[in-house]
Amino acid sequence: MDTTLQDPSPAFGRGDPMLGHVLDGRYRVDARIAVGGMATVYRAVDTRLDRVLALKVMHPSLATDVSFVERFIREAKSVARLAHPNVVGVFDQGADGAYVYLAMEYVAGCTLRDVLRDRGALRPRAALDILEAVLAALGAAHRAGFVHRDMKPENVLIGDDGRVKVADFGLVRAVDTVTSTTGTLLGTVSYLAPEQIEDGTATPGVDVYACGVVLYEMLTGAKPHPGDTPAQVLYRHLNEDVPPPSDVVPGLPPALDRLVASATARDPRARPHDAVALLGHVLEARAALTEAELDTDPPGAREVPHAGADDRTSVLPGAVQQPLPAEADGVHRTSLLQSPPPPPPARRRRTGGRPRRGTFAVVAALLLVLGVGAGVWYINAGQFTQVPSLLAKTEAQAKQRLDAAGLHPGGTTAYQYSDAYERGTVMATDPEANARIRDDGTVQLTVSKGPKTVKVPDVAGSRLSEAKSDLKDRGLEPGMVTKEFSEETDKGSVVRTDPKAGTVRATGSAVALVVSKGAPVDVPDVTGESEDDAVAEIEDAGLKAEIATARVTSDEDEGDVARQSPADGRLAEGDTVTLTISKGPPMIEVPDVTGLSVDDAHAKLEDAGFDVDEDRGLLGLFGDTVKSQSVEGGEKAAKGSTIKITIR
C-alpha cells in the first residue's frame, strides 16, 4: 500500500466518516493522510497518553477477509519485535466493530517518492545516506527472520529532522515462505525480484533486489524498466538486467554501477545474501569515492511523474505456466505474463559472487543494523519551503506572504464563487498550506467572488415535489415544510415561500415552503351516537371515519361511540376522525339497602352510581322502610343502571 505518514492538506479527507471519530474509545481521528489498497492512514491523537500518532485502518470491506486481517496483525507483531530507529514503530493493534487498525508512530515529513518527484536524481552522497538507513532497517528485519517484500520510495519516510524510516511492513513474511496460497502476487511491479514474479519466493534477496532498483532510481531519477502496463514491466525484470546508472547519468563512478549490478542480479545467488551484506557493500563503495564524486550534481536532473501502471501496489493474477525464451544458460523460466512481448536483444548477464567486504564495512553495517540509525540531515535543508497559510487573506496580502516566503503566485489567479469566504479573499491554494515545495516555487491562488446569488422562484400553486425540484434547479435548497388551511389553494400545493418569491438569496440557501391543507372542515361531535350513524355523519362532512380496533368501557351504551379523535376543531377535507366504540358501562357492586329508610337507600345507591326507582304499591303508600331491591346487595350491575326498591 502506498502510504505516507506525513501532514496532509487541511481539506484532505473532508467528508470521511472516520474524521472526528474516537476509535476503540481511545484514538481520536483528526485528519486523513493517505489511502492505499488495503487501508487508510490517519493522523490521530491517543487520548490516554495525549500523543499524536498515525492510525492505519483496514478498509471495512477487507475486514471479513481472514488473510488480510492476519496480514495486518502480522505487521503489528513483526514491527513490534524490530524496535529499530529506522523502522516506523507500531504501538498498538486492535479492532472496533468493522474497523481493524494499527496505532503507529507518526512521522512528520515526506517520502522518498516526494523527493524524487520534486528533485529528480539525487547526489550520490544523499542516495547512499538514504540507502544506508533503509538497509539498517531491513537488516534488523532480516536478522529477526522477516522479509519486507514491498520496498519502494513510497515506503521510505524522511522526517523533518532528517531521520529516515521504513514504513508499511504489511507484506512481511517469514523467510523462505511463498507469497500466497491463493495464486496471487502482492507487491509493486517496478521493484519485484525475478523470483518473486516467477514463484512468489520471499527471501531477504527480494528486498536486496528492490533496494538496488531504488538506488538506481535515486541516482538517475527514473526506473530501470519502465513500461506502459504492469505486464511489460514484469517481463523486463524477468529478462533484462538493470542497466548501469552511468548509462543515464554519465560520469557516475564505476563503484556505483557495480553496487547496482550486484544488488539487482537476476540470479539471487549473485546478490548479497541479505540487507546486512548489501550494507557492507554500500559502505565499501562510499569509502572508495572521493568527496567530489559524492557531491557531484547529476546533469539534467528532472522531475519524474509519479503516476503510472507500475507505481501502485497491485494484486496480479496467479502464474500462468507459459515458457519464455531460453536464457543464455539454456534454462527456461515461467512467467506470470499471458502474452509476453517479443524478447529483447540478448544482453550480457552479470554474474559472479559477492565482493569481499572489508572489516570496516562489516563493523559499520552491523552497528547500523543494531540500531545506531542514520539520518539525512541535509536532504531537506535549503531545498524546500512550506507554503504559508493564505486562506481568508486578500489577494494582495497573499502575494506579499508568498514573496516573503521566497515563493511566487502561479499563472493567472482563479476566481470562484464561495459562500464561506468574503469576496476578494483567498479560498484555496495549490499546493495547500503547509505543503512542502521547492524554493522559488509557485503557488496557484483561487480567490473568492463571494456568494453566487439567485432570485427565489414563484412556486405558488405548484405541487410540493415540483416546487422542491424547481428550487434545486435554481441552486436553492428546499427548507422546512409547514401546512395551513387555504380556501384558494388546492390541498398539497404550495401556498407561498419564505423568503417570498423574487427575493435575492445566495445559492445553497434554504427556502421554507408553506403547503395547503385545503379548505377547513368543522369536526362534528358524534359521541353517544350509534356506530353507523356516527360514520355517516363524519363522511357527510367530507372526512373519513376510522373505527379503533379496541373497544372501551364507558357510560355510553354498548355499540355507541364512546369517544372520538379529534373531538372537535377543524380538519382538512379527507382527513381522518378515529371513533372508539363503547362496550357498555362498567359492572359495579350493588350496596344492600334493605331495612333502610327510603331516603338513606336513595343516598346509598346513588352514591354508588345507580339510579333509583320506588315500588310502594297500596301497602307502601304510607311506609318508609325498604323491604327488598331488584338486584340483591353484593351482586353487580352496570354502572348507571336503575335499581328498584320495594317499600312497605
For the CA atoms of 100, 102, 106, 107, the dihedral, rounded to the nearest 10 degrees, stands at -100
Catalytic residue among 7, 114, 129, 150: 150
Identify the three-state secondary structure at position 295: coil
Phi-psi region of 208 (alpha: psi -120 to 50; beta: other; left: phi over 0): alpha
- Spatial separation of the C-alpha atoms in residues 632 and 613, rounded to whole Å: 14
The reply to whether omega before 299 is within 30° of 0 (cis) is no
With beta carbons less than 8 A apart as the criterion, state whether 580 and 563 touch.
yes
With beta carbons less than 8 A apart as the criterion, state whether 253 and 165 touch.
no
φ, ψ (nearest 5 deg) of residue 522:
-70, 135
The reply to whether omega before 586 is within 30° of 0 (cis) is no
Active site residue 540: no
Q: What are the respective helix, strand and coil percentages of the chain, to the nearest 5?
A: 25, 25, 45
Residue reference for cell 422546512: 480
With beta carbons less than 8 A apart as the criterion, state whether 414 and 427 touch.
no
Residues forming beta bridges with residue 430, ordered by sequence position: 444
* Antiparallel, parallel or unpaired: β 510-516 and 477-484: parallel
* Nine cell digits for residue 439: 524554493
Among 421, 390, 416, 392, smallest CA distance to 403 is for 390
Question: What DSSP element (H or E) covers 101?
Answer: strand 99-104
The reply to whether omega before 431 is within 30° of 0 (cis) is yes
Identify the three-state secondary structure at position 5: coil
- Spatial separation of the C-alpha atoms in residues 133 and 111, rounded to whole Å: 14
* Nine cell digits for residue 581: 366504540
Q: What DSSP letter does each residue of 427-480 carry, written as one string?
A: EEEESPTT-EEETT-EEEEEEE----EEEPP--TTSBHHHHHHHHHHTT-EEEE
DSSP 8-state assignment for residue 371:
I
DSSP 8-state assignment for residue 170:
T
- Spatial separation of the C-alpha atoms in residues 331 and 344, rounded to whole Å: 17
Q: How far is CA 413 from the centre of its chain?
A: 32
With beta carbons less than 8 A apart as the criterion, state whether 111 and 156 touch.
yes
* Nine cell digits for residue 211: 533496494
- Spatial separation of the C-alpha atoms in residues 472 and 509, rounded to whole Å: 10
Question: What DSSP element (H or E) covers 605?
Answer: helix 598-608
DSSP 8-state assignment for residue 354:
P
Residue reference for cell 311506609: 623
Active site residues per annotation? 150
